[in-house]
């Protein structure tokens, strides 16, 4: 098997699976219980927070855990906007966000919030001048994705944060860093970001656990009410084994992120060159290979339906996505590809190859040959 769908989810690392198993068997207590077993469980959560906090270069107390990236994004955006409502009702995001942000914004719009969407260029970069021009007296929150999950564009978060904070330091700056966490260096406290979301299953951790960095003095309305865990921001008995798994996954990715150049760039280059060598009219969607995220490569094969290509690859035990996993079941073309202005026929043939630290060069050298064979098989059937 060659797994090239790691932007959708990654293969759980063995150390992570072992740590989760051990935690399920050994960690008996409820972290809220007052006895020793409860305290031990609570200490494990604190330790996990420290591991995440060290990766982000922030304090342990600024991390909370949620049921994943979607919940963390909702808490940041909906919880942040509701908490700041009395100061204004204008919120800003981009056209290239994940549905967990776009739908949270749509929900806020129904509640009377006014939204500005920042447009993007043909490679997916936001227009910083438009961001500047969109800021108003009543702007209370800005949410920008760090790495787009479909085409891998890396947004200029430092500049965007500077623009927002120069307008008013009271505007909440949220970054969906779910695709970049553990892959690119982004330190929220140093950058001035107030809220930053992450998710375990994109870095070889388990599904259904993620979290949020919350900067000092940032107030949020909680969305889940109950026993008051996580400082009242996220009630519910903590998913301890998931949290342990997340921390173990962070330990696995930490040495990679310390390197000057992410080692996945080399893999991405091999993959892309192997395909371009065999399919002459293949084209890259979004940023150039070394400019985009190290693990995401979107390519179109004109005339070839993306789903047909996906299943042809699947038959050869190679797993990829058409566009983003969450939107790929819908018949329409991806809104991300539409927003970067890709012609419909090119968008319909877009395949997302996505890598992880577990892929090897040897797996990737031969992908072009296989894709080339499939293109040659399918091309005669194209209706002209």
Which of the residues are catalytic?
326
CA distance 219 to 302: 49
Cβ nearer to ligand PLP, comparing 135 with 293: 293
Secondary structure of residue 209 in the 3-state scheme: coil
Query: What's the chain's length in residues?
Result: 384
Are residues 182 and 356 in contact, defined by beta-carbon separation less than 8 angstroms?
no
Cβ nearer to ligand PLP, comparing 100 with 356: 100
φ/ψ of residue 53, rounded to 5: -60, -40
User: Residues binding ligand PLP: what is the number (CB under 6 A)?
Assistant: 15
Residue 129: strand pairing partners: none
Helix (H) / strand (E) element for 219: namely none
- Among the listed residues 89, 199, 274, 298, the single contact to ligand PLP using CB under 6 A: 199
Q: Is 322 in the site for ligand PLP (CB under 6 A)?
A: no
Cβ nearer to ligand PLP, comparing 23 with 67: 67
- Among the listed residues 88, 152, 206, 210, the single contact to ligand PLP using CB under 6 A: 210
Are residues 135 and 351 in contact, defined by beta-carbon separation less than 8 angstroms?
no
Q: Is 31 in the site for ligand PLP (CB under 6 A)?
A: no
Helix H segments across the chain?
A: 14-26, 36-56, 69-74, 80-84, 99-110, 128-134, 157-167, 188-191, 240-257, 264-278, 306-315, 335-339, 344-347, 361-365, 367-378
End-to-end CA distance of the chain: 35
**Tokens 């419909």 found at:** 344
Minimum Å gap between C-beta 100 and ligand PLP is 5
Cβ nearer to ligand PLP, comparing 172 with 301: 172
- Contact segment (CB under 6 A) with ligand PLP among 65-73, 183-191, 223-231, 259-267 equals 65-73
φ/ψ of residue 343, rounded to 5: -60, 150
- Among the listed residues 178, 233, 246, 309, the single contact to ligand PLP using CB under 6 A: 178
Cβ nearer to ligand PLP, comparing 68 with 188: 68
Secondary structure of residue 288 in the 3-state scheme: coil
- Contact segment (CB under 6 A) with ligand PLP among 64-72, 185-193, 254-262, 270-278 equals 64-72
- Among the listed residues 62, 134, 153, 179, the single contact to ligand PLP using CB under 6 A: 179
Cβ nearer to ligand PLP, comparing 182 with 210: 210
Site string for ligand PLP, 114-153 (x = CB under 6 A): -------------------------------x---x----
CA distance 40 to 24: 13
**Tokens 């919940």 found at:** 71
Cβ nearer to ligand PLP, comparing 70 with 262: 70
Cβ nearer to ligand PLP, comparing 262 with 274: 262
CB atoms within 10 A of CB 195: 27
Minimum Å gap between C-beta 178 and ligand PLP is 4
CA distance 222 to 225: 7
Site string for ligand PLP, 68-107 (x = CB under 6 A): xxx--x------------------------x-x-------
Q: Which two tokens stand for residue 14?
A: 């063995």
Minimum Å gap between C-beta 223 and ligand PLP is 14
CA distance 380 to 384: 10
- Contact segment (CB under 6 A) with ligand PLP among 172-180, 235-243, 244-252, 269-277 equals 172-180
* Buried b or exposed e, range 31-55, using 16+ CB within 10 angstroms: beeeeeeeeebbebbeebbebbbeb
Site string for ligand PLP, 344-363 (x = CB under 6 A): --------------------
Q: Is 203 in the site for ligand PLP (CB under 6 A)?
A: no
Binding interface with ligand PLP (CB under 6 A): 68-70, 73, 98, 100, 145, 149, 176, 178-179, 199, 201, 210, 326
């Amino acid at each position: 098997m060659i797994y090239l769908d790691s932007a959708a989810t990654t293969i759980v690392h063995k150390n992570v699976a072992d740590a989760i198993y051990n935690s399920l068997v050994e960690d008996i207590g409820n972290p809220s219980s007052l006895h020793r077993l409860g305290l031990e469980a609570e200490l494990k959560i604190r330790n996990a927070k420290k591991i995440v906090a060290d990766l982000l270069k922030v304090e342990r107390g600024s991390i909370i855990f949620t049921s994943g990236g979607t919940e963390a994004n909702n808490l940041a955006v909906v919880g942040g906007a509701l908490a700041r409502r009395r100061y204004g009702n204008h919120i800003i995001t981009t056209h290239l966000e994940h549905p967990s942000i776009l739908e949270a914004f749509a929900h806020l719009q129904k509640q009377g919030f006014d939204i500005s969407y920042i447009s993007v260029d043909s490679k997916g970069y936001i227009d910083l001048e438009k961001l500047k021009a969109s800021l108003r007296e009543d702007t209370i929150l800005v949410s920008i994705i760090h790495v787009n999950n479909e085409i891998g564009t890396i947004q200029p978060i430092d500049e965007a944060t500077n623009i927002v904070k120069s307008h008013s330091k009271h505007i909440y700056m949220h970054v969906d860093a779910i695709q970049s966490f553990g892959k690119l260096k982004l330190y929220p406290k140093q950058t001035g970001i107030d809220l930053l979301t992450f998710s375990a299953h994109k870095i070889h951790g388990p599904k259904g656990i993620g979290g949020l960095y919350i900067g000092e003095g940032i107030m949020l309305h909680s969305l889940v009410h109950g026993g008051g865990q996580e400082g009242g921001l996220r009630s519910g008995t903590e998913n301890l084994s998931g949290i342990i798994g997340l921390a173990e996954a962070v330990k696995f990715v930490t040495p990679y992120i310390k390197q000057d150049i992410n080692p996945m760039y080399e893999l991405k280059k091999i993959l892309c060159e192997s395909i371009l060598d065999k399919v002459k009219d293949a084209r890259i969607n979004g940023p150039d290979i070394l400019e985009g995220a190290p693990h995401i490569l979107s390519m179109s094969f004109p005339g070839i339906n993306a789903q047909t290509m996906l299943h042809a690859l699947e038959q050869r035990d190679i797993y990829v996505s058409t566009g983003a996993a969450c939107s790929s079941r819908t018949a329409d073309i991806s809104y991300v590809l539409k927003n970067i202005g890709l012609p419909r026929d090119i968008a319909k043939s877009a395949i997302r190859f996505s890598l992880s630290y577990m892929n090897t060069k040897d797996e990737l050298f031969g992908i072009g040959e296989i894709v080339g064979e499939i293109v040659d098989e399918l091309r005669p059937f194209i209706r002209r």
